[in-house]
Amino acid sequence: MLTMQDIKGHYIFTDEDAELLKSLQPLAEANKERMSSEFYDFLLEIPDTAEFLKDDQLLQHQHIIQQEWFVSLFSGIYDNSYYHTLQRIGQAHVRIGLNPHFVNAAMNVVRRFLIELLQETFPVLSDRRKYRNAVEKIIDINLDIISASYQQEELKKVFLSHRLESKLIMAAERFTYGLNLILVLALVGVSLSVVGLFVWDIVHIFRGNVEKGILGALGTLLIIWMMIELMDNEIKTLKGGSFNILVFIGVIIVALIREILISTLRHDALETQIFLAGTLLILGIVYYLVAKSQHERTR
């Protein structure tokens, strides 16, 4: 964090500058009311800033504060205490919601007033120049610190917002991760059930119903194969991989193929078999379109 000493060094603000400004304090004291009057006349002409100055009592109070700040420009003492005072001024402007643009514009009124005051007071160019350089530096330092306090207050708001968003995102990610774990466990359970179904199909073969057993076992093997793919996809998702919807569509297609095989063996009604075949066709089209879309995105 910058100190007042750092800031003065960056602006090449010397002890000589401080002494020159201190020598101008009587002049500032004599003209503080005129300065304050011009300052607030300027702000009252702007609708955006006039909104903050509707109350006459508040306006009178602000005149006093502004005059004190104006005279403090020429105190000759510019330490960390002075730095913190300027920070509080900036923070006060942030709290009332004043746009920093108007702080810069108002500071320009002060700068112009002082330049004209120096021209009136010091007719010799060389004298006026050294005073003007010191005045320009202290105004720039004031504007720098006040503007920086704006940025710090805004960063605090952003930081708090960012922390809240981060916590919400982290909570959502953990919740999603937990759901994926539950899904993997569910898939394990379903896979075991499918293995049991495969064993049951084999039993049909030994009972003499060879055709039904073989076709059922083939269909079940296809489902087991797709379940392996499905679990592999979920494991990749848990490890941070992308979700592949094609695997889920494939499982449905394989299950439907098995159902069509069994339906043929049961000699189900023609309408039922047509319905199953039509559903399979639709799923095949969906699978093709999704696969094509994924391929185009990866190109």
CB atoms within 10 A of CB 208: 8
Q: What is the separation, in whole angstroms, between the first and last Cα of the chain?
A: 48
17 close to 133: Cβ distance less than 8 angstroms: yes
Give the pair of three-digit tokens for residue 128.
């006026």
pLDDT at 152: 66
pLDDT 10s digits, 184-201: 788 788 878 878 888 887
pLDDT 10s digits, 213-239: 776 777 777 777 777 777 777 777 666
DSSP line for 243-288: --HHHHHHHHHHHHHHHHHHHHHHT--HHHHHHHHHHHHHHHHHHH
- For residue 176, give the H/E element and its range: helix 125-206
Give the pair of three-digit tokens for residue 142.
């004031």
pLDDT 10s digits, 53-69: 888 888 899 999 999 99
Q: Name the nearest CA neighbour of 223 among 196, 244, 204, 203.
A: 196
